[in-house]
Chain A
């Protein structure tokens, strides 16, 4: 397919050429901008849509989807499906069963649809809103791969999947190809897919090029360098004495309330999706100045651990301590001052209309660090509407807004989705600034907790990793620590 796409007379994508063909798996990586997302939607025939009467807040956003498409060479027939990087966007119905019913027309066994991604039949009755991000993505992928489509386009789905999920995805791609379909994957995490791809391309922000390893290596080098800065900033002061742990979990148990009809809850569950969820006996500690990684299967309770620290959920037993104080007795102000949190769906954390509002709040709250970060990553005095922010910008905005010199814990939940290596480096540089600011003011450097499936990202940070498994948090063997020390040392040498 060869096409050009423009909005309001401005060309966004110029002669994009993607050689779609049956029995082909194409892998595209590159700059994660608005154009990258549009490429996937256009290939799948999702855009452009008809112009709509719309509200001013999303006029610019709608313009992106209602542009002018000129096709020089058509795609392939046989129907298509598209999945984007935000799993929240894939669903039109309340429950998993309803979603499957609508997509399959009630034909076939809905349990078998979920079986594609090894999701148990109990998931059928789950409310979509109670699924974790990874579970949503698995359900959406199950539906996509159960149909016989000529073309399947996946954009940024990998960061959401646990190890078994990634393996199943690869298997399903090969199967879909075997059925005569064409699969296009637009992805940043390409290491697991590269061996099976028939062709590999790079999107440089305007056009599609044949891939060369040099395209990504500059970005990856930036990630490693920024990770080194984070480690260097943290280790600079971690030798000094301070409180024993920033966060400590002591035999914590947790269970979502489970009203009848499956209302709120069970966003942590067994792999069969049953209601037998629990965080059973969670004990671990995070020290200041260190970087930690938390990984585990989809729906194992990783994000719930963050919510327990934030006291957005309440433990059923045991205790969570923040700076030595039980969070159940800490004041909300203490938690707000001490914790900087970027959730897996950052747009849900944004409560203001534009970046300028956040700048004003930073000034009003006399938070020079937030002002500095906003100034660094959102240049220009114009009012940038939230609707036009990329996932990277959304995350940077939340990070800047919730950071302060008093921050003692930084939590990033699935920070890599929708972000290319250059964006990951930006995020890590912002992180390093926050840590340096704390240290420069004589405070203990914050602990950093990164919740992610992206083990490469965690490794580049030299994170001490924990795994959430069967309701417990288990420390991984210390292989990463060696790398942490080495990377930190290198960064200090570079700086010094």
Chain B
């Protein structure tokens, strides 16, 4: 229905991207600087693809949320770095790699965000319908995720109108606004979750109605 790639291929791309950014990265440490350069190049490439496919606004919101989360993460990570706490149980990192590992964590998470959101863009939930009722449930989960992305944007807009979210209009940027974004991020995320919870009962009712309709049509 959407795009020419097969569903399985899209899944493979998702898994490969997530694996590279999150799971395999620690193993690349042994290759030193080239591994980091390669990682950053791939992150920039993925980010560019995401920006082109999803638009400036989505890109900016993703970066704002990521930034908010990263600041909170760094507050937690800093004492661990200073105390030299080894993050991996299967690998002992030298001090430089240890710092790089901790600092690269938000970047790897950003890579996973990019890959996941690109996946959402190239896939169509209707592709899952061929898997019967299980497929329909995946479609519902998919819709819930997409709704959450939309709800996030709507909530951000609501917070902006209420003056709670920083207004970067006209390319204005300052540390104060960045700090405001970090401060408002938890409210944004919590409100988005609340909106998803409120949305779900009706989605569940629509889902059941569709299941009934499909079974009446005699499809499996």
Contacts and interface: CB of A to CB of B under 8 A. Distances in A.
Interface string B205-220: 1111110011011010
Nearest to B157: A312
A95 to B, nearest CB: 7
Interface string B144-160: 00100011001101111
B139 interface: yes
Contacts of A90: 206
Contact of B187 (A46, A88, A94, A351): A351
The secondary-structure label for the interface of chain B is helix
A62 B197 CA distance: 11
A102 B169 contact: no
B64 interface: no
B159 A351 contact: yes
A225 to B, nearest CB: 31
Interface in B52-101: 52-58
A198 interface: no
B216 to A, nearest CB: 6
A367 interface: no
Contacts of A311: 167, 169
B1 interface: yes
Contact of B170 (A98, A328, A402): A328
A92 B194 contact: no
A103 B195 contact: no
A341 B126 CA distance: 36
Contacts of B191: 351
Interface string A117-131: 000000000000100
Nearest to A361: B162
A263 B58 contact: yes
A479 interface: no
A92 B167 CA distance: 32
Nearest to B206: A92
A386 B157 contact: no
Given A65-B205, A92-B210, A265 B55 contact: yes
A310 B164 CA distance: 14
B163 A333 contact: yes
Interface stretch (A160-168, A253-261, A368-376): A253-261
B27 interface: no
Given A49-B208, A92-B143, A264-B58, A348 B169 contact: no
Interface in B170-219: 170, 187, 191, 194-195, 197-210, 213-214, 216-217, 219
B201 A351 contact: no
Contacts of B129: 101-102
Contacts of A17: none
Given A92-B143, A93-B125, A98-B1, A353 B55 contact: no
Nearest to B164: A351
Contacts of B124: 93-95, 98
A58 B201 contact: yes
Interface string A72-112: 00000001011010101111111101100111010000000
B204 A52 contact: yes
Contacts of A98: 1-2, 124-126
A264 B57 CA distance: 8
A97 B202 CA distance: 21
Given A264-B57, A348-B154, A105 B219 contact: yes
A210 interface: no
Contacts of B161: 310, 312, 335-336, 341, 349
Interface in A6-20: none
A85 to B, nearest CB: 12
A79 B213 contact: yes
Indicate the member of B53, B146, B202, B219 with the most A CB atoms within 10 Å. Answer: B202
B28 to A, nearest CB: 31
Given A92-B143, A95-B124, A351-B187, A332 B159 contact: no
Given A58-B200, A92-B125, A259-B54, 17 more contacts: A62-B201, A93-B125, A94-B146, A95-B2, A257-B57, A259-B52, A261-B121, A263-B54, A311-B167, A312-B157, A335-B161, A336-B162, A347-B198, A348-B151, A348-B195, A349-B158, A387-B198
27 contacts: A46-B208, A47-B205, A49-B204, A52-B204, A57-B197, A58-B201, A61-B198, A81-B209, A89-B206, A93-B124, A94-B142, A102-B129, A102-B139, A257-B56, A260-B52, A261-B53, A261-B121, A265-B55, A314-B169, A329-B170, A335-B161, A335-B163, A341-B161, A345-B154, A348-B158, A351-B155, A351-B191
